[in-house]
Structure 1
Amino acid sequence: MKESSAGTQPGAKVSRVSFDPEAVDDLLSRELRQLSFQQRSVIQEEIHGVRDAAINETPETIQEALREMSHELDNVLPVSEKTAYLHAKSLNASYVTGSDFQLRFLRSTLFDAPHAARKLVGFLDLLLEYYGRVALQRPIRLSDLGKDAMDVLRAGQTMQMLPFRDRSGRRIFTVVGDFGLHYDYDTRVKVYLYMFSAASDDIETQRRGIVFVIWPGPTNDLQLSFPDPKENATGAKIFASAPIRICAMHFCLRDGPVARFIRACLTLMVGKDNWSRIRFDAGEGTEILYKLMGYGIPVDLLPLTDSGNVKTKQLMQWIKIRKAIEVDIEKFGSTTIIECPFKHDVIIRFGKAYTDHPGTIMFRSILERHYEEHYMAASKESKVAVTWKIVEEVQKKGGRFLVWDNRGWWVQINDRAVIRAKVAVSMKDHTKRIQALQNVQSPQCSTYKFERQDLRKRKRYQGGSSDSQCCGHGCDPDGVF
Structure 2
Amino acid sequence: MSYIDQSFNANQACIGFCDNRRKHSYQNTSYHSSDDGGMLLLEQNVQKKQDIDNLLSEALNALTFHEREEQQEVLHGVDKVIAEGDDFIANSLVDLDTDLMRIKAGSAYEIAERMDPTYATSRAFRVMFLRANRYDVKASANQMLLFFELKQQLFGNDKLAKDITIDDLDENDLEALKAGAVQLAGRDTANRKIYIQLPGIRKFKYIQNELRSRFLITMQALRSEQTQLKGAVSILYSVGDFKDRCNGAGFVEHTKFALAVPQHSAGSHICFDDPNQYMVIKAGLSVLNAKFRARVRVHYGSHLECQYLLSTYGILTNTLPLTTSHGVNLSRHLDWVESCLRDSKDSAFTSPAGIKPNADDVLFMGYKTSSNLGNARLREGVKEIFLQYRAGSQEQKRLLIDGLIAQIHNSGGRFLKQDKESIWHEATLKESRTKVMKIISNYKRRLGTPRSTISPPSSIIGEPMPEDVIFGRNQHSRGNELLHHLVKERFEEYESLDRGMKMSLVDSIAKTIRDEGGRFLGPESNGWVELSIEQYRVKLSKYLTNHRRHFKKGGKYHTL
- 1:158-215 deviation per Cα after TM superposition (whole angstroms, max 9, x unaligned): x1012x3212121000101416276521211212222221121111100000001111
Which of residues 74, 92, 110 in structure 2 aligns to 1:65? 92
Q: Which residue pairs with 2:132 in the alignment?
A: 108
1:125-274 correspondence to structure 2 within 5 Å:
125-157=149-181, 159-162=182-185, 164-178=186-200, 180=202, 183-218=205-240, 221-223=243-245, 225-227=247-249, 233-254=252-273, 256-261=274-279, 263-264=281-282, 266-267=284-285, 274=292
- Shift of residue 136 of structure 1? 2.1
| 2:329 paired with 1:303 | no
Contact 2:75 2:267 survives alignment (8 Å): yes
- Shift of residue 150 of structure 1? 0.6
Pick which of 258-267 and 27-36 moved more.
258-267
Which of residues 110, 113, 128 in structure 2 aligns to 1:86? 110
- Shift of residue 62 of structure 1? 1.4
The count of corresponding residues between Structure 1 and Structure 2 is 312
SS of the equivalent of 1:178 reads helix
Contact 2:200 2:242 survives alignment (8 Å): no
Give the alignment's TM-score, normalised by structure 2: 0.51
- Percent identity over paired residues: 23
SS of the equivalent of 2:270 reads strand
CA distance in 2, matches of 1:127, 1:194: 11
Report the AA paired with residue 67 of structure 1.
Answer: V
Give the alignment's TM-score, normalised by structure 1: 0.59
Contact 2:235 2:271 survives alignment (8 Å): yes
Contact 2:248 2:280 survives alignment (8 Å): no
SS of the equivalent of 1:79 reads coil
CA distance in 1, matches of 2:222, 2:121: 16
Contact 2:236 2:269 survives alignment (8 Å): yes
- 1:134-160 deviation per Cα after TM superposition (whole angstroms, max 9, x unaligned): 432211001101110110010001x10
Give 5+ residue unaligned stretches, structure 2: 1-46, 361-495, 499-560
- Shift of residue 234 of structure 1? 3.3
Which of residues 88, 103, 121 in structure 1 aligns to 2:145? 121
CA distance in 2, matches of 1:154, 1:58: 41
Change (3 A) 1:51 1:237: same
- Please tell me the root mean square deviation across aligned C-alpha atoms, in Å: 2.9
CA distance in 2, matches of 1:326, 1:270: 36
Change (3 A) 1:220 1:160: closer
Report the AA paired with residue 91 of structure 1.
Answer: M
Contact 2:194 2:233 survives alignment (8 Å): yes
Greater CA radius of gyration, 1 or 2? 2
1:459-470 correspondence to structure 2 within 5 Å:
none
| 2:328 paired with 1:334 | no
- Shift of residue 92 of structure 1? 2.8
Contact 1:218 1:306 survives alignment (8 Å): no
Contact 1:173 1:211 survives alignment (8 Å): yes
- Which is bigger in relative contact order (C-alpha 8 A, separation at least 6)? 1
Contact 1:65 1:111 survives alignment (8 Å): yes
- Shift of residue 20 of structure 1? 7.0
